[in-house]
Structure 1
Amino acid sequence: MSQSNIKLTSSEIASLWTSYLNNCMSKQVLTHMIQYVKDREIADVIRFAFRFAQKQGKRFETVFQKDEFAIPLGFSEADVNTKAPALFTDSFCLAYINHMAKAGLLAYGGFLAMSTREDLIAFFHHGLHYTSKLYHLSTSILEKKGLLVCAPYTSIPKEMDYIDNKKYLSGYSLFHKKRPLNAVEVSHLYMNTQTNNMGLKITMAFAQTTTNKKVQAYMLRGRDISQKYLKIFTDTLMNEGIQNPNSSDIGVTNSTVRTFSDKLMMFHIGLLSAAGVGNYAMAGGASQRSDLLLNYERLSMEIGQYAKDGADLMIKNKWLEQPPPTK
């Protein structure tokens, strides 16, 4: 059968729909950032990301037209106030793009793995390739400007061995000390400190610029959750004598002018919350010490409830777009 006659699978429909919404949202955020960035090198990174989002949007439309796929509502220029003053510092913009590029690498890798039609394999491979370039570029500029935050350094293994005692898995005991964290566990704790630090800054920015009291309360609740989780992960590292690298000096301005629509802000936080649930599930699966596993399970439930409450608020205000139905 000709590739042009092969119908889209449910996985491909879901991947196209999800990635289109994410791309639309990113484009509007970048539209604001590109207006006010002053640093020339950071501006180049933002322009690279913006041009990719623009071109990717056109490539989406080509696929949708070919397959008679109704274009999702997504986001438009109406979701960003181009007259609002700068909401983010230059360093935040750079760190934000680096963070979202990491998320994009995971997303595009997943979409690629769920695709079987040749044109869509090429489509998502293209997205993965350019997201990889964006990650490399933003990481290089972060390092050049002294803003790159690296994971904690641990000793390099000189020999390998097998676990010979079930105590290795124990995180709670009155009779013996917990074993030291291993490198895999440290890597996930570090990653989750960084994602929560980014979530903290974004919820603060959104809380101070919305005029909707319920949205503001939701953002402030998200800020508090991020602060709490950040302390949990940092304290876990510190209790093991592992210094968590300080986050780079990134932040938001003191602007209180509405910058993005409530719909876009709620969608963005929903995206971060979903990523958080995935991060904690992955970290829990990779962590062998029982106290860490239980912690991740508890946090997953809490952030899952937060995401659910956000979805309820979006539905109430008719902001939540319905995914493609199966019939």
Structure 2
Amino acid sequence: MDYKQAGVNIEEGYRAVAKYRDLAAGTTNAAVINGIGSFAGMFSLKELIRAGAGMEDPVLVSGTDGVGTKLELAFKLKKYDTVGIDCVAMCVNDILCHGGRPLFFLDYIACGKLDAEVAAEIVTGVAAGCRETGSVLLGGETAEMPGFYEAGKYDIAGFAVGMVDRKNIIDGSRIQAGDTLVGIASSGPHSNGFSLIRKVLPDLHEDFGGMPLGMALLEPTRLYVKPVLALLEQMEVRGMAHITGGGFYENVPRMFSRPLDAVFGIPPAKAAGTGNAWTIPPVFARIAWGVAGGGSTGPQAQEAGAELLETDEALRKLMFNTYNMGIGFVLALAPEDSGRAIDFLDRRGYPAWEIGTVKAARGTTGAVAFV
């Protein structure tokens, strides 16, 4: 018996690496010493120092994350080119919360039986996410593990490194009571809460506004790096939170360095008559109806879910403790800066709204409340 008979196809691995090499080439810059296929990725310290030119004390910022069970939707719909964007976004958006500009990214793909075409589609998304955020796809690993993963199943995780000047690190220490919380629109559920979604929305081909529901759910995580880094050059941002697993209740307090409360207005779940205010996107109403055990589908389910989000406090809290509910990134700003920040982001195609206020903590740990 040889390695191929044991389930590992070395030749398919070579094909995959050749495809990765071409995809990574579109993200490279002068700091990269070697190409994909080496034992390790190398990034020039000289170029790193140049990247930190003007910084008094450059600090490296790192983050790692994966895509989770959202991948199951990609397998079922045989659409693999967006989950790589998710993987990059989950890492670089976290780095961004501390003011870090991403420099490079590495990925790890694991599967039961390697298909170079599928793996290349996944890495196509990784490369696209790197290009959009100005980071380099420096390297990675593809592991074929027959008998451990089912054939046709893949997992992907990533690791990113960025840089920020120590004096510009955003750690929440400047946030104070009275500050305004500005939310930037998400593109959907991003990469969180899919274990629940898969249970309550089993029919991925259900009509959702003229498209399969599964395709709407596969919309990749929004990348906030470029507009927010540009905003940091224009004004003081006192704190930032990436709304990931745990929703508002777990992620907003992470931006505070001391006990403070975040108070949000309850957003409407129906778009009619809300003007330019933050409105919960329909996909979350559809999820809410599934969570509540509703049996109908299509527009009726969305309407029923929207109604429940406005009337069922327990369901609303569960949803805001699981999903981003249409807000993928939150900024804490001085009140006088919020309008200018919203206009700046809107003009760059990132809708934003004043969604809450920082208050003095009523308890010893700080809390999130909706009123």
Q: Same fold (TM over 0.5)?
A: no
Given the two structures, how large is their TM-score scaled by the length of structure 2?
0.26
The answer to which structure has the higher helix fraction is 1
